[in-house]
Structure 1
Amino acid sequence: MKRIIYTLFIFSILLSSCVQDVDDVFDEPSSVRVEKALAEYQALLKSAEHGWVMEYYPSATQAYGGYLFTMKFKDGDQVTVSTDAFEEAEKEVTSLYSLKKDIGPTLNFDTYNELFHHFSDPDIIDGGGKGKGYEGDYEFLFRSHTDNEIILRGKKTNNIIKMTRLTEPPTVLLDKTVKLSKETFTTTYTAHIGGKTFVVPMEDHVFHFSYETENKETESVSGPYIFTATGIKFYEPIEVMGKTLENFTWDSTTKTFTCIDTGATDVKLTANELPEGYMKYKDFLGSWDFVYTGGRIPVTLEEESQTSFLMNGFNPNYKLVVNYDKSAGRIRIMTQKVGNAGNNEVWLCAWDANTGSLWKNTALGVASKLRSGTEDVTIDFESYGVWEDNEVNSLIVWEMKGNDYVGEFKQWGTSRYVGYLSMIKK
């Protein structure tokens, strides 16, 4: 028993000594060290005459690519933000920020900023949809810094976010990246790697590489990127066909990205032409006539999000949601709920007027196709979605009780929109 007590006594002395040794590594308590770090970061953020540029990637998987945000930190805990995300380099929005203590010093954007919080707002319908949005960060942990660079980590996504000191006004850089964004926009590129070529889809600042290996297996890898002053840079290096790729420069004459990384300077990505009849989002905005057999309705398409519009004028009792398919450059009017009638719901349904069949299925609708050879911009609607032996050539308003089809709903006026359906730009 005495030996056990003696052993425990010696162990407690050794343990106390170890704890003392750990404490002796630092001259100050951790709380004091964090306070000093916060003061140091605050001074560093404000020291940049032209501010900082943040390489921001929403989503833990970087599924939506990356965007540049310039930030000028000012007295009064104010920060002025600009971005290339919406191709408006001149736009500035000022809001509040703070530095706080968490598991370490953190940078937080506390009040809503319509530019910066777009990617962390769960109420927008873009990205992963309402309730998720783009799932981006607005709180960041400081990881390291030098005089000209700050490395952060997103608290939500764990993405590594780099901030670099600007040496000239923010618009100088953003004007270049916005110009590149417009010049390089298309839906597919052709990759030239190791003497082989293959098509690479591009969407939301992400290249999607998929190719056949020597073993006849399919290899896939994505490259989320930001724009730089001269080209693009991937979030992190990726390997494609044995080549490590990260940095590219853009040649506007040949419409080609060329890799500038060691061992991969022969890798090129050449822009393909947009699909025939492609229309950009802004091309759909404004006044149109919606035309159906026996009728013509003046309507307006207004911006709702980057992937949808609201159609006003179709019916005075409701607005239609019109989806925008960026990859195809067209719009879709899908089956959707448009209101209520007592305890029942009112739906605009996909309808095959030739067979008389209708279906309350939100995966069915009509999609636009630009008509060629017309003086006025005209789009025709064709069937969209899989529906056995039927096609969606018309739309009809129907009253529903759960999944029970109550009957055609005529109380709000026109209930049948019989094809041929089209829209003519005013």
Structure 2
Amino acid sequence: MKIKNIFKFLIIAFLTAQLGACVSNEAEQKFDQTPAERLNAREKELNDLLLSAEYGWKAVYFTDNTQLGGFTHLFKFSADGKVAMASDFDSDTSTYNSDYSIEIGSTISLVFTTKNRIHLLSDSNNFPVPGLKGRGYEGDFQFLYYGEENGEIIFKTKRSFEELRFVKATVEDWTDLELNTEMAQNVIGSEKRSLFRLLEINDGTNIHKLDFNYAPRPRFAIANSVEQGYNMSYNMGIAFTKTGIIVSPAVVVNDQELTEFIYDDSTGSFTATGTNGVSAAIKYTDKPLILTDDYTLLLPGIGNGNNAYAYIHDYTELEGANSALFLSLLNDIEEANGEPLQRAQFWFNNADGTNYVEYRFGNVSYYHYFTLKADDVNKTITFIPDAWKSGRNPKSPTITAPSFLKTLDDEFMNPQGLYFAEIPVVGYRAYTFTSTTTPFRMVAYSFQ
């Protein structure tokens, strides 16, 4: 072997030996504890972290931001295995006590072992929309510990392996939690404001408007573009704060991620502001950005035979597109009549040429007949009221209109007309009847 090659070989051998020694020392340091000892150390680490925050911890938990929003939870842990907990899941923001434990398995996990507010998200019988029946809000009550970063505790959910961070809570987080639920009503909207909204995107140069729809029970919003040449959509889960909302995933505008929207009470708008003129705002508008021809499905003519659409108690009632006004009218009817309205079912283009809405209560139904008038310019449909009947046969006896149905029926028979449009729901085809003059909207199951 040449002397030069021998010299290179000796150098490589020397460096390899040094590297091996370093790796060996690092490995010895890393594995100077048994697996059980390492897990016990991690258990103590998590326990110390949980107890270290003077006012406990806060987590904004987005269980599945592809279809659900976020829920704020507050936790104050005690050394005796007790935890005080509050959430903005609903209007009850009181603090409740329960048990927790730190469990050792293949990793360390925090488990809320007795029922508390966090379990509302994991109860499979507690579902926000029909498409999530048997799945609930897809939440968890066991969280795998992944360490601490910048004062935050990092977990991953056991069910979906999504990251969840606990941040240190403040006194105000506890005292002001009820303000989150007040903000929830602002996201839903006041009965005095329009039902129609838009998401206005400003990329610093151009402004684009997207149709915006929010479903309160799942806390989820969908925004779709209506402009030709601008194909964009945003689906976002929404969580409430005392000053506005947080959205997940972020609304990305010109490579900027906008997540925090601030509420303006004077206009009812929510605005997120970036840099260099970038912004996104949820605003009210007087009419839908999209006017469809769906109303023509209700008219007599070729291809439009007998068809039916219905509100169904405990089914379509759960859909977020139902307006607060509609739901309040249902409540008024139940209080006045002593039982809930089971169905408000519209029948169009019957064999005898009639149309009517059937109001069904158990085994009793009331039928209000009407004729149709279409507005092809504004793309609306108007129901012109006719007689009330005791049966679905037009020869059935005429009856006096039930007084407890008057307010709801007046919304349907609005002389200014209704918008009729298909909406996306999970599990079935649905349309909405929406007033052109009041904040009234009803989701209807399509039997076609």
* TM-score in terms of structure 2 length: 0.58
SS at match of 1:326: coil
Shift, 1:62, TM fit? 4.2
Q: Identify which of 118, 121, 125 aligns with 2:120.
A: 118
Shift, 1:197, TM fit? 2.1
Would the alpha carbon gap of residues 225 and 323 (structure 1) be closer, same or farther in structure 2, given more than 3 Å must change? Answer: closer
* Equivalent residue runs for 1:331-410 within 5 Å: 382-384=344-346, 393-394=357-358
SS at match of 1:184: helix
2: CA distance, partners of 1:30 / 1:394 = 69
Q: Deviations over 1:357-407 (max 9, x none)?
A: xxxxxxxxxx98959xx9x9899974258998686744789xxxxxxxxxx
Shift, 1:31, TM fit? 2.4
Give the match for residue 211 of structure 2: 199
Residue type matched to 2:232 in 1? E
Structure 2 unpaired stretches of 5+: 1-16, 190-194, 289-310, 369-400, 406-448
Would the alpha carbon gap of residues 218 and 118 (structure 1) be closer, same or farther in structure 2, given more than 3 Å must change? Answer: same
Quick check: 1:328 aligned with 2:322? yes
Give the match for residue 262 of structure 2: 249
Structure 1 unpaired stretches of 5+: 1-13, 276-306, 311-320, 332-366, 398-413
Give the match for residue 180 of structure 2: 177
2: CA distance, partners of 1:166 / 1:369 = 36
Shift, 1:107, TM fit? 1.0
2: CA distance, partners of 1:112 / 1:385 = 46
Shift, 1:30, TM fit? 3.1
Q: Deviations over 1:21-73 (max 9, x none)?
A: 674241322321221121121121122222111111223x4411001011111
Shift, 1:252, TM fit? 1.4
Would the alpha carbon gap of residues 386 and 41 (structure 1) be closer, same or farther in structure 2, given more than 3 Å must change? Answer: farther
Quick check: 1:218 aligned with 2:251? no
Q: Which has the higher helix share?
A: 2
2:210–2:226: 8 Å Cα contact kept in structure 1?
A: no
Give the match for residue 342 of structure 1: none
Give the match for residue 51 of structure 2: 46
Q: Deviations over 1:292-348 (max 9, x none)?
A: xxxxxxxxxxxxxxx9978xxxxxxxxxx88344312379xxxxxxxxxxxxxxxxx
1: CA distance, partners of 2:287 / 2:90 = 20
2: CA distance, partners of 1:274 / 1:423 = 31
Give the match for residue 365 of structure 2: 417
- Report how many aligned residue pairs link the two structures: 312
Would the alpha carbon gap of residues 170 and 259 (structure 1) be closer, same or farther in structure 2, given more than 3 Å must change? Answer: closer
SS at match of 2:279: coil
Give the match for residue 61 of structure 2: 56
2: CA distance, partners of 1:201 / 1:160 = 27
Residue type matched to 1:221 in 2? Y
SS at match of 2:43: helix
Q: Which has the higher strand share?
A: 1
SS at match of 1:267: strand
* Equivalent residue runs for 1:70-89 within 5 Å: 70-89=74-93
Quick check: 1:189 aligned with 2:193? no
Deviates more, 1:256-265 or 1:96-105: 256-265
1: CA distance, partners of 2:214 / 2:252 = 17
Shift, 1:120, TM fit? 0.4
Shift, 1:251, TM fit? 1.6
Shift, 1:418, TM fit? 3.9
1:81–1:93: 8 Å Cα contact kept in structure 2?
A: yes
Give the match for residue 389 of structure 2: none
Shift, 1:112, TM fit? 1.9
Shift, 1:116, TM fit? 1.4
Shift, 1:205, TM fit? 2.5
Give the match for residue 373 of structure 2: none
